[in-house]
Amino acid sequence: MAVALASGIATARGSATRGAVGGCLRLVDAYRNGRSLAVLPDGPRGPRYIAKPGAVHLAKATGAPIYPLAYAASRAWRLKSWDRLIVPKPFARLRIEIGAPLSVPRDAPPEQLAGLRAELQTRLNEVSTSVEAYFPAVP
């Protein structure tokens, strides 16, 4: 978070287990004030690579499309955290891919939101598989 703050990126904390409503409201307010949003869709405790419904609910509240994104590095440290986050090493080559946007209608009923969460999962899997093919040797 310190890197984000030093770069001028604002953060809003919240998860399904702590501060969900407050975090979502801060993000909606930031979006309405012209800020771009970024959400880690697999939550603070995982399981990793499984999108939770929060990003879809946020897109419904704001009307903003969701752009699935993944990255890989030619050389990286892999953290021993629940999500196995990779941190690129100096001078590593990076590959970033952004998938097709997913729109969430503001009037979407709960059953449609579940389907959209599944579609987001599919799109995230696609960009992750594609980008990881560039640097398959990172453990």
23 within a domain of the structure (yes/no): no
pLDDT digits (tens, 9 = 90+) for 37-77: 888 777 666 677 788 888 899 999 999 999 999 999 999 99
103 within a domain of the structure (yes/no): yes
Q: Are 75 and 139 in contact (CB under 8 A)?
A: no
Q: What angle do CA 29, 35, 132 make, to 5 degrees?
A: 115
11 within a domain of the structure (yes/no): no
User: Structural domain tally of the chain?
Assistant: 1
**pLDDT at position 31, please?**
86
- For residue 101, the enclosing domain spans 41-132
Residues of the chain falling short of pLDDT 70: 1-20, 43-46, 137-139
27 within a domain of the structure (yes/no): no
Task: Return the SS3 of 76.
Answer: strand
Q: Are 58 and 73 in contact (CB under 8 A)?
A: no
Rg of the Cα atoms in the chain: 16
**pLDDT at position 46, please?**
67
138 within a domain of the structure (yes/no): no
47 within a domain of the structure (yes/no): yes
81 within a domain of the structure (yes/no): yes
Strands 94-98 and 69-73: antiparallel
